[in-house]
Structure 1
């Protein structure tokens, strides 16, 4: 894929074969690039806070609106392969050879599935409140659609729910192939996500460790922003 970058009003745009991707850029002009991948229903603005402040002096930072979210295109095709292709196109468009990927929830799935196929493009992974991509004991119901006009395409949720209920076995089987050092961050007992999922993930990944930030819930970088930023900065300094 190929693309080019442009933009105004605090956001920039990459145009790829898969459509238009909007992103925000902060931080240093040089250094190891950091790409932030938001959760389902969010966008790149979700990352503003202490993490940006802590990383900006040493890293160029990019926060994407994933396809179907925010100001990026809403093409209607939300197979996980499309998100991986978008991320590859984004890195190519900005001439980023290797990046540190930081993903929250849905964004963490995008990050580690990308790392399975493009390990040479990933320097380190941070997976916040991620989960084991195994078939659930019972199918997860489709959530109730929120009122009003959300800043994301509801079809993303519909298609993600279907994929989560019948995940590709390779998503789990290929976890040990990820060679990038990986930090998993869990929110402890206040999270709705089974924390044993993160333990299982850490055990299956080749070079991973788990940090639990009690009281972080599912939104660790929002509910415990200073502790989250400190954990990430410490990991990247190793």
Structure 2
């Protein structure tokens, strides 16, 4: 069972869940769009056997604040502030989908804060074809602020191509997990991300977009085999 806590970071209240012993090496999990930290329940208890696991609700999601500003750079800064609030010890950072985009921006900004990076089905910074519709108001989905969907869809339609260069600056061990043919995220784009990050390892698990939810045992096998050995 996870515990729900809150912190004030970067001008917002961020809710987060925890698993594991407080003095274990920290591992932070970032969920995808429209979800929250509880999305990691299929794998978090197992990861907590060796790590102190933190799963925040990103801004606009779950029990965290909904400030209306949802640029990826704002989410990146939230996570950096969250890491600072946890303490100076470097962390393992893992993200899924939208959370993986936030994770690779965090790593590009401050790789020194990370011992390792796991990108599950990361969205490449290439324009979506055909473009995604951008909602102009609520559409009945209350799992997150509708303005998150609008902001992410705008980004999907016209991402900054300079982010490809940011990926090349990541300086920590990196595992990229692709979901294979059942995923809606372009698999060649995920492979391109892995090729751009220096030394990154690319693994495909035929699970579709939600690898950790559909095939948690395979997710855990790949991640556990990749992570640095916990300190004695």
Give the TM-score taking structure 2 as reference length: 0.92
- In the alignment, structure 2 segments of 5+ residues that lack a partner are none
State how far apart, in whole Å, the 2-side matches of 1:191 and 1:136 are: 15
Partner of 1:167: 159
Give the direction of change, closer, same or farther, for the CA distance of 1:193–1:75 in structure 2 (3 Å limit). same
Determine which of 36, 61, 72 is the counterpart of 2:29: 36
Partner of 1:81: 73
SS in 2 for 1:25: strand
Partner of 1:6: none
Partner of 2:190: 198
Give the direction of change, closer, same or farther, for the CA distance of 1:219–1:145 in structure 2 (3 Å limit). farther
| Offset of residue 93 of structure 1 | 1.4
State how far apart, in whole Å, the 1-side matches of 2:197 and 2:5 are: 34
Contact 1:54 1:233 in 2 (8 A): no
| Offset of residue 137 of structure 1 | 4.7
Q: Does 1:236 align with 2:231?
A: no
Determine which of 19, 22, 30 is the counterpart of 1:26: 19
State how far apart, in whole Å, the 1-side matches of 2:152 and 2:110 are: 22
Partner of 2:173: 181
Give the direction of change, closer, same or farther, for the CA distance of 1:210–1:17 in structure 2 (3 Å limit). closer
| Offset of residue 170 of structure 1 | 2.5
Partner of 1:3: none
CA RMSD between the two structures: 1.9
Contact 1:116 1:177 in 2 (8 A): yes
Aligned length: 228
- In the alignment, structure 1 segments of 5+ residues that lack a partner are 1-8
SS in 1 for 2:152: helix
Give the TM-score taking structure 1 as reference length: 0.89
Determine which of 8, 22, 27 is the counterpart of 1:15: 8
Contact 1:187 1:217 in 2 (8 A): yes
SS in 2 for 1:230: helix
SS in 2 for 1:136: coil
